[in-house]
Structure 1
Amino acid sequence: MSLPIVFIHRTAEEHVGLCMQQAKYSNPSSRVILIGSPENKYLSAENTEHFLLSRFYQSAQAFSYVYKHSTSNTYEYNLFCFQRWFILRDFMRSQGIERCCYLDSDVMLYTDISKRDNEEFDDFTFEYTWTTVCDLEKLNQFCDYATKFFRDPLHYQTLLQFAKEIGDAPVSDMVLFILFHNYALRRKATYGIVANGFFDHNLNCPFAPACPQADNLDGKKQIYQKNGALYCKITGTTDYLSAYSLHFQGHAKAYIPYFRSQDIPNTDDFMYFDYPTCKWVPAQP
Structure 2
Amino acid sequence: MIPVVFIHKGNSSYLYNTLYQLRQTNPLVKMYLLGTEESRVYEPLAETILIGSLSEEADLFAGVYKHYSTNSESFELMCIQRWLVLKAFMIKKDIRRCLYLDSDVLVYEDVQRLSDAHAHVGMTLCGISGHTNFVDRNVLIDFCAFIFDRYAGADALSALEKHYHAFVAKHGAGGVSDMTLLTMYAEKNPQKVENIYFSNGLPTFDPSLEVGEEYFEMENGQKKILFNDSKPYGFLKAEQKPVLFYTLHFQGAKAKSMMLKYIPVKSVLFWIQYIKYTGMYYFQKIKSKIV
**Structure 2 length as normaliser, TM-score?**
0.81
Pairing of 1:235-254 with structure 2 (within 5 A): 235-250=237-252, 251-254=254-257
Give the aligned partner of residue 146 of structure 1: 147
Assess if the C-alpha contact under 8 Å between 2:216 and 2:234 holds in 1: yes
The aligned amino acid for 1:75 is E
Change (3 A) 1:253 1:215: same
Give the aligned partner of residue 134 of structure 1: 135
Whether 1:8 and 2:7 are equivalent positions in the alignment is yes
> Using the alignment, how far apart are the partners of 2:32 and 2:57 within structure 1?
20
- Of 217, 220, 226, 1:218 maps to 220
CA RMSD of superposed structures (Å) = 2.4
Deviation at 1:111, TM superposition (A): 1.4
Give the aligned partner of residue 48 of structure 2: 50
Whether 1:259 and 2:265 are equivalent positions in the alignment is no
Of the structure 1 ranges 124-133 and 6-15, higher mean CA displacement relative to structure 2 is found in 124-133
Give the aligned partner of residue 96 of structure 1: 94
Aligned length: 258
The aligned amino acid for 2:114 is R
> Using the alignment, how far apart are the partners of 2:239 and 2:210 within structure 1?
21
Q: What's the % identity of the aligned pairs? A: 25
Of the structure 1 ranges 56-65 and 13-22, higher mean CA displacement relative to structure 2 is found in 13-22
Q: Deviations over 1:208-235 (max 9, x none)?
A: x5xxx11111111000111221111111
Q: Secondary structure at the match of 1:171?
A: coil
Of the structure 1 ranges 91-100 and 23-32, higher mean CA displacement relative to structure 2 is found in 23-32
Q: Name stretches of at least 5 consecutive residues in structure 2 with no aligned partner.
A: 268-291
> Using the alignment, how far apart are the partners of 1:203 and 1:124 within structure 2?
26
Deviation at 1:184, TM superposition (A): 2.9
Give the aligned partner of residue 73 of structure 2: 75
Assess if the C-alpha contact under 8 Å between 1:182 and 1:189 holds in 2: no
Q: Secondary structure at the match of 2:23?
A: helix
Change (3 A) 1:111 1:165: farther
> Using the alignment, how far apart are the partners of 1:95 and 1:144 within structure 2?
20
Assess if the C-alpha contact under 8 Å between 2:123 and 2:194 holds in 1: no
Q: Secondary structure at the match of 1:117?
A: helix
> Using the alignment, how far apart are the partners of 1:152 and 1:62 within structure 2?
15
The aligned amino acid for 2:211 is C
- Of 202, 206, 217, 1:200 maps to 206
Deviation at 1:155, TM superposition (A): 2.4
Task: Considering Cα pairs closer than 8 Å and 6+ residues apart, tell me whether 1 or 2 has the greater RCO.
Answer: 2
Deviation at 1:121, TM superposition (A): 6.5
Assess if the C-alpha contact under 8 Å between 2:123 and 2:139 holds in 1: no
Deviation at 1:147, TM superposition (A): 0.5
> Using the alignment, how far apart are the partners of 1:122 and 1:239 within structure 2?
29
Assess if the C-alpha contact under 8 Å between 2:19 and 2:45 holds in 1: no
> Using the alignment, how far apart are the partners of 1:90 and 1:188 within structure 2?
20
Deviation at 1:64, TM superposition (A): 0.7
> Using the alignment, how far apart are the partners of 2:196 and 2:72 within structure 1?
27
Give the aligned partner of residue 278 of structure 1: none
Deviation at 1:238, TM superposition (A): 3.7
Give the aligned partner of residue 30 of structure 2: 31
Give the aligned partner of residue 229 of structure 1: 231
Q: Secondary structure at the match of 1:19?
A: helix
Assess if the C-alpha contact under 8 Å between 1:34 and 1:51 holds in 2: yes
Change (3 A) 1:183 1:164: farther
Give the aligned partner of residue 176 of structure 1: 181
Give the aligned partner of residue 157 of structure 2: 156
Change (3 A) 1:5 1:63: same
**Structure 1 length as normaliser, TM-score?**
0.83
Q: Secondary structure at the match of 2:98?
A: strand
Assess if the C-alpha contact under 8 Å between 1:124 and 1:192 holds in 2: no
The aligned amino acid for 2:134 is V
Q: Deviations over 1:139-190 (max 9, x none)?
A: 1011100001012222233334455666555100011000111213456863
